[in-house]
Structure 1
Amino acid sequence: MTRLVQISDLHFGREDPDLLEPLRTAIGAAAPDLVVMAGDFVQRARASQFRPAADFMNSLGRPWLGVPGNHDIPLYNLLLRAWDPFRRYRRWICQELAPTVDLGEVRVVGLNTTDPWAHQRGRVARADVDRIGEAISAPRAGLTVIAAHHPFHHTEDIEKDLMVGASDALEHWARCGPHIIMSGHLHQWLVEPFVRRKGADMTLQLHCGTGLSTRRRGHPNDFAVLDCNADDVTITRMVAEDGEFQRAARTRYVVGDHGWQREGAQIER
Structure 2
Amino acid sequence: MKLAILGDLHIISPDDPFPEARERRAHFAQTDGALKALRILVRQEAPDLVISVGDLIDWYSDENRDAAIRFLDSLGAPWLLTPGNHDIAGYIRENGEVTGPYETAQIEEAARKGWADAGIEIGNRAIDVGFARLLLLDSAPGEIPTQTQQWLEENLTESANRSADDKTILFTHIPFNIEAIRRFITSVEPGRDPHKSLQRGMPAAIEDLLVAGMSMVFTGHLHFFPGHVAVNGLDMYLLPLSVISAGRVYPRQGTVTFLELDGSPPRQVLLDPAH
Q: For 1:38-84, what per-residue CA distance to the aligned partner results, in whole angstroms no more than 9, with x for missing partners? A: 00111111111111100111111112111110001124454623644
Distance 1:108 1:185 in 2: 19
Structure 2 SS opposite 1:109: strand
Structure 1 SS opposite 2:236: strand
Counterpart for residue 197 of structure 1 = none
| Matched AA of 1:131 | E
Distance 2:250 2:166 in 1: 37
Distance 1:217 1:122 in 2: 29
Check if 1:189 corresponds to 2:226.
Answer: yes
Quick check: 2:3–2:47 contact (8 Å CA) kept in 1?
Answer: yes
Equivalent residue in structure 2 for 1:163, among 179, 189, 199: 199
Superposition CA RMSD, Å: 2.4
Aligned-residue offset at 1:37: 0.5
How high is the TM-score relative to the length of structure 1? 0.76
CA distance 1:135–1:18, change in 2 (3 Å): farther
Distance 2:118 2:244 in 1: 19
Aligned-residue offset at 1:228: 2.5
Quick check: 1:191–1:205 contact (8 Å CA) kept in 2?
Answer: yes
Q: For 1:234-256, what per-residue CA distance to the aligned partner results, in whole angstroms no more than 9, with x for missing partners? A: 22111124425xxxxxxxxxxxx
Structure 2 SS opposite 1:72: helix
Distance 1:3 1:52 in 2: 25
Quick check: 1:20–1:212 contact (8 Å CA) kept in 2?
Answer: yes
Counterpart for residue 126 of structure 1 = 149
Counterpart for residue 251 of structure 1 = none
Counterpart for residue 235 of structure 1 = 266
Counterpart for residue 3 of structure 1 = 2
Distance 1:100 1:91 in 2: 22
Q: For 1:198-233, what per-residue CA distance to the aligned partner results, in whole angstroms no more than 9, with x for missing partners? A: xxx14211121111252765322211111232xx33
CA distance 1:173–1:47, change in 2 (3 Å): same
Counterpart for residue 243 of structure 2 = 212
Distance 2:11 2:229 in 1: 29
CA distance 1:122–1:23, change in 2 (3 Å): farther
Larger helix proportion, structure 1 or 2? 2
Quick check: 1:105–1:143 contact (8 Å CA) kept in 2?
Answer: yes
Quick check: 1:66–1:99 contact (8 Å CA) kept in 2?
Answer: no
How high is the TM-score relative to the length of structure 2? 0.74
Equivalent residue in structure 1 for 2:70, among 55, 59, 75: 55
What count of residue pairs does the alignment treat as equivalent? 229
CA distance 1:36–1:79, change in 2 (3 Å): closer
Distance 2:82 2:109 in 1: 19
Distance 2:244 2:85 in 1: 15
Counterpart for residue 107 of structure 2 = 81
Unmatched segments (≥5 aa) in structure 1: 116-120, 195-200, 245-269
Distance 1:93 1:7 in 2: 20
Quick check: 1:4–1:227 contact (8 Å CA) kept in 2?
Answer: yes
Structure 2 SS opposite 1:51: helix
Structure 2 SS opposite 1:206: strand
Quick check: 1:27–1:60 contact (8 Å CA) kept in 2?
Answer: yes
Distance 1:67 1:5 in 2: 14
Counterpart for residue 226 of structure 1 = 259
Aligned-residue offset at 1:128: 2.9
Check if 1:25 corresponds to 2:40.
Answer: yes
| Matched AA of 1:10 | L
Equivalent residue in structure 1 for 2:216, among 173, 176, 180: 180
Unmatched segments (≥5 aa) in structure 2: 13-27, 93-103
Aligned-residue offset at 1:5: 1.1
Quick check: 1:123–1:163 contact (8 Å CA) kept in 2?
Answer: yes
Structure 1 SS opposite 2:258: strand
